[in-house]
Amino acid sequence: MKKTSKKSVQNYENNEIIKQEINLQFHWYLASFFVIFFGSLIIPAIILMVYVMLFYLPSFLETKSFILLFTQLKPFLASLFMPLIIILCYLIHIFIVGLITRWFWRITERKSPSKTGIIPRNIPSKTLNYYHIRSFMIKYPKNAVIRGPFPWLINFLYNFVGTNKIGKGTTIEEQFGADKFVDIGKNSYIGVNSGFSSHAVEGIFGNIAYAKIKLGDNVTTAALNCLAPGVEINDNSSLFPLAGATKYSTLKGDNYYYGVPLRKIFKKKVSHYAGITEEQLNEADSLFNKSSAKEENKQGE
C-alpha cells in the first residue's frame, strides 16, 4: 500500500476552500418584476377605465330609477358586458405578462443559454447569475396564470415564453416547481402538487445540479410525485401517488411505477394497491389499447 508523504498531507491541509458571497442582484429582480407587473397592466387598465367612464357609468351607475335598470336596453347591456370586459382585460394582462417575460427570457438565454451541468455557487459566474434571474422572473407569470380563473393557460405561457415545452393535450394541475427546463410530450397528465425540479442544490449553498426533465407521450403522474433533475420518463408510463425519481433516472415506459426511487409495479401489486381484481385490470388495459389503436387510425386517415 502506498504511503502518503507528510508534505502532501500538509499541502492538502493548507488548501483553502474558496468561499464567496452569492451575487443577490436585487436590482435585476426588482426591475424585471416591476416591468412585467406594471407594464402588463397599462393596456387592460386603459380599456377598463374607458369602458367604465364612457359606457358603464352613464348607462348604469347614473341611472336614477331602479326600474329602468331592467327595462331599458343600455343599462342591461352595460351590466351584461361588464364581466366580459373584466375577463378580456385579464386575458390581455396575461398575454402581455407572457410577452414581456418572453422578451426578458430570450435576452438572458442569449447571454447565457440554459444547459445541463453543474453550476458552482462558490465561484461568481454569468451562468449562476442568469440562472437566478430566470428562476425569479418566471414566478409571477406562473402564479398569475395557475392561480387565476383560467389555469389551463399555463401550457400557453410555458410554450410562449420558452421556459418549458408542453405537448398538445397535456393537462398540468397546480404544482410546485416545474417552471423551467421541462419537456412534456402529448396527452400527458401532471397531477396535483407534483414537484418537477430541474435543479437541485447539493447542501446549504452547495453546487446546483441543473438538468432537463423529459416526459414522453401519455405519461400520467398522480398527486405528490417528485422528479429530480435529469429524469427521463418514456411513453405510456403511470406514476402512483407519493412516488419519486432520483437524479438522472430513466424509465423505459409502458408500465406503472411506484415508490422512492421509482420502480416497476407488477399487476398483482397494482390490483392489491388499487383494490381491484386482476381481471378488471386486464380489461382496463384492453380498453386502453383499443382507444389508442382508434386514435392511431384516425391520425393515419
Torsion over CA: 184, 242, 175, 170 (sign) = positive
The C-alpha atoms of residue 66 and residue 221 are separated, in whole angstroms, by 54
In tens digits, the chain (301 residues) has pLDDT values of 444 434 433 443 444 544 555 566 788 889 999 999 999 999 999 999 999 999 988 887 777 777 777 778 888 888 889 999 999 999 999 999 999 999 999 999 999 999 999 988 877 788 888 998 999 999 999 999 998 999 999 999 999 999 999 999 999 998 887 889 999 999 999 999 888 999 988 877 678 999 999 999 999 998 889 999 999 999 999 998 889 999 999 998 888 898 888 888 876 776 776 777 778 777 877 887 887 777 777 766 6
Rg (C-alpha) for the chain, rounded Å, is: 26
Q: Residue 213 forms beta bridges with which residues?
A: 182
Are the C-beta atoms of 161 and 98 separated by less than 8 Å? yes
Instruction: Delineate the domains of the chain, giving CATH numbers in brackets.
Output: 164-280 (2.160.10.10)
